[in-house]
Amino acid sequence: MNRVQRWATARRTAGRSGWRGTDALFRGAIGGLGLVGVGVVAHRIDLVLIGAPLLLGTIAALAVPTGPVPAPKLERLPAAVESGDRTKAAITVAAGPGVEYLAIRLPSPDHTAIGPVHLLPGSATTIRAALRWNAWGEGVDLRPDHLAASRDALLINGPVVGAESRRTVLPPITPLAPGPLPPRASGLVGAHRARRPGDGVELRAVRPFQPGDRLRRIDWRVTLRAGAATGEPLAVPHVRERHAEVDADLVLVLDSLVDVGADLGEWSTAAAGVAVRPGGSLDRAVRSAASLAAGYLRQGDRVGLVDLGRPQLSVPPGVGHRQLVRVRHQLVACTRTAGWATRPVLLPKQIPRGAVVVFLSPFLDDATVTAATATARRHLVIAVDTLPAPLLADPSTPWGEVVRLVVAGEHRARRNALRANGVAVVDSADAVASALRRVRS
């Protein structure tokens, strides 16, 4: 096969692979051929000397086969990461010998803007991108858009939208001091004292031995002192009776019906570029729920999650680290459907008997207050107000301050209604423990 046939075969392969000519190709081929032709016809050697290298260089560059289209491949990363984590993601590229340049656009390390375009030689095989996950949620964190150029950039392939790398960033956990929960007997040993006797740590009473008592419960000192009066040291054995330790249930009720910030002028519009408003009511609710779940699961309690907007997304109470991971994943799932429901739905079967219920809501809807007060008739309910404060009036309308006063007044009325129905209202998750102590004291 001669040079012309090899060149023709390479061009057909490049065309089928998605390569296309650039302006440099047409200038080199048409300009070089035109200068040589005009020079020969006009007997101008200077035009031939200018056009011949341009034409031969174009032909020589096109003679090199471009090979397959280079497709960057992302290194496998964990499907779920913690908020604040950082890493370096490896991107491998396998380009043919005819690829001279690679242009790859990677995101900025903090994902606040579209990252710069990196111009790399075609021989590059591995590229590393710095990643840091600052905001919790689910979304695309890496998408290597790329463009490849052949020799002298006569042919290009792209730009091609890269494969998206999606990740779930779990909500952050703030260390909280858990408060005392009412115990609930469920057949397991927990961290709270019950009224009934059992195998706990705290002493309940010392009494005479009865049939069925275990021998290891005998208090030999009391037994000897009691027998000294009768002259028979072991006549009446005495045993130590302790309080049983049982577990308790905590149900977190997330209000995903609304997501508002402090600025009233932005309530009617969605936040650009994010699924949840940073610092908004839903953001505060999710962060508080994750922190409360971590604190009470750490001490051995049972924690569950209820979504007021989508009951099917709820998580039944459970224990252990696996339950914490499940709750945090489900919190992210709840935010995907935030704002779709028109009214809160809270079924009685979602809350176990004797459980403590924590409502996390901005309480901008009377229906949410009604759900909380109805639950308070059967359970101990604590309301965590997640509405950002202070509210800011909309400066674009002369009625902005009036609207702010009306919204704030209605919000205070709903908080007062909750307190009047026996619901403790707090402003942050930190105050839940103190509210529980006040209730149990």
Better-scored residue on pLDDT, 295 or 60: 295
Whether the pLDDT of residue 70 is over 60: the answer is yes
Question: Do 381 and 435 belong to one domain?
Answer: yes
Whether the pLDDT of residue 423 is over 70: the answer is yes
Q: How would residue 204 be classed by pLDDT, with cut points 50, 70 and 90?
A: low
Question: Do 291 and 338 belong to one domain?
Answer: yes
Question: Do 432 and 306 belong to one domain?
Answer: yes
Using one digit for the tens of pLDDT, what is the confidence trace for 147-196? 888 877 778 887 777 777 788 888 888 888 777 776 554 444 444 444 44
Using one digit for the tens of pLDDT, what is the confidence trace for 41-52? 888 888 878 878
Give the global pTM. Answer: 0.71
- Residue 324 is predicted with a pLDDT of 93
Question: Do 12 and 80 belong to one domain?
Answer: no
- Residue 194 is predicted with a pLDDT of 44
In a domain, 379, yes or no: yes
What is the number of residues in the chain? 441
Asked which of 170, 202, 235 is the last residue of a domain, the reply is 170
Mean of the pLDDT values across residues 406-429?
A: 93
* Euclidean distance between CA atoms 289 and 331, whole angstroms: 8
Structural domain including 151 reads 73-170
In a domain, 182, yes or no: no
Tokens describing residue 412 = 């205070």
Cα torsion angle, 267, 343, 363, 273, sign = negative
In a domain, 228, yes or no: yes
Q: What number of CA atoms fall less than 13 Å from residue 270's CA on the CB side?
A: 8
In a domain, 181, yes or no: no
- Residue 192 is predicted with a pLDDT of 47
Question: Do 234 and 261 belong to one domain?
Answer: no
By percentage, how much of the chain surpasses pLDDT 70?
Answer: 83
In a domain, 393, yes or no: yes
Question: Do 116 and 162 belong to one domain?
Answer: yes
Helix (H) or strand (E) holding 139: strand 137-142
Question: Do 7 and 128 belong to one domain?
Answer: no
Number of structural domains the chain divides into = 4
Question: 145 - beta bridge partners?
Answer: 105
Question: Do 164 and 281 belong to one domain?
Answer: no
Question: Do 95 and 113 belong to one domain?
Answer: yes
> String of b and e for 164-178 (b: at least 16 CB within 10 Å)?
ebebbbbbbbeebeb
Whether the pLDDT of residue 290 is over 90: the answer is yes
In a domain, 184, yes or no: no
Q: Which of 256, 253, 266 is nearest to 347 (CA)?
A: 253
Question: Do 80 and 142 belong to one domain?
Answer: yes
- Residue 88 is predicted with a pLDDT of 81
Question: Do 165 and 196 belong to one domain?
Answer: no
Max mean pLDDT among 92-106, 188-202, 425-439 falls in 425-439
Question: Do 392 and 279 belong to one domain?
Answer: yes
Asked which of 19, 45, 63 is the last residue of a domain, the reply is 63
